[in-house]
Amino acid sequence: MSTENVVLHVADVHKSFAGLHALSDIDLSVREGETHAIIGPNGAGKSTLLNVCIGRLKPDSGHVVFDGENLTGKKPHQINQLGVVRVFQTPEIFPELDLLENVMVPILAKRDGSFKLNLFKRFSSEAEVRRQAEETLVDVGLGDLGDIEAGSLSRGDKRRLELAMGLAQKPRLLLLDEPTAGMARHDTNATIDLLKRIKARGMTKVIIEHDMHVVFSLADRISVLAGGRIICQGTPEEVKGDPRVKEAYLGEEQV
């Protein structure tokens, strides 16, 4: 693949845990503005790969480059400051705060470089931050719930709130781990529409997802992981027709 417009390059990454090879010979590139899906069965190494990309895990060998800068060895907050934002599979929200405050926290933290709780004392004077948070909540369909305590939300709405917390940071690269997990079909379709709007704005995204309806609705290209290795990469149509993918993951009835 040409290196033109590649913003994320994972090169020859290996990662083991107690002798178990979680990732082996991982090479993939993500182009600017594309939606790149990573799929595979449970235990394939998908979340491990994202953790390597954001600095939560250090690879045993290989490296990760974002926009020409080597991320390997950098701490998660340093990578976040470069514009790489991850939305986790299990919502990481502040349940005791309302939705507006939840979205304001990462905006302030990214600006000031810390998630210190004393940031809350400055909420009343942060008019621009408040406006940005309100606009983001509207964008994800939670605009009428800004003063609701986050812990009272349904699982699907918690997922949307964490997506808002990610988007509010204006990432250059957004990493989404199961963005529609726990959602009813109508919420899933609304999230697909939202992610399509984000794509139209030029945001680059990497998505881990088990729901093939979501994957094939959004992905420009797909990498398929099985046993810690990439067994196939290509467009959705190329992946659908690959016999290795049918055997390892999708199944004949799903392609």
Q: Do 223 and 38 contact (CB within 8 A), yes or no?
A: yes
Q: Of 228, 229, 254, 226, give the one whose Cα is nearest residue 241.
A: 254
Structure confidence at residue 249 (pLDDT): 59
DSSP 133: H
> Which of 205, 255, 232 shows the shortest CA–CA distance to 37?
205
Task: Classify domain 1-83+171-255 by CATH number.
Answer: 3.40.50.300
- Euclidean distance between CA atoms 110 and 57, whole angstroms: 21
Residue 243 gets the label, from left (phi > 0), alpha (psi -120 to 50) or beta, of: alpha
List the chain pLDDT tens, one digit each, 255 residues. Answer: 545 699 999 999 999 998 889 999 999 999 999 999 999 988 889 999 999 999 999 999 999 999 999 999 999 989 999 999 998 877 688 999 999 999 999 888 877 655 454 455 555 457 888 899 999 999 888 999 999 999 999 888 888 899 999 999 999 999 999 888 878 888 888 889 989 988 888 899 999 998 889 999 999 999 999 889 999 999 999 998 888 887 765 554 444
Token pair in block for residue 25: 């010979």
Q: Tell me, what's the pLDDT at 108?
A: 85
Question: Hey, where are the domains in the chain?
Answer: 1-83+171-255, 89-163
For 16-45, b/e burial (b = at least 16 CB within 10 A) is: eeeeeebbbebebbbbeebbbbbbbeeebb
- 108 near 126, Cβ under 8 Å? yes
Secondary structure letter of residue 89 according to DSSP: S
pTM score of the predicted model: 0.86
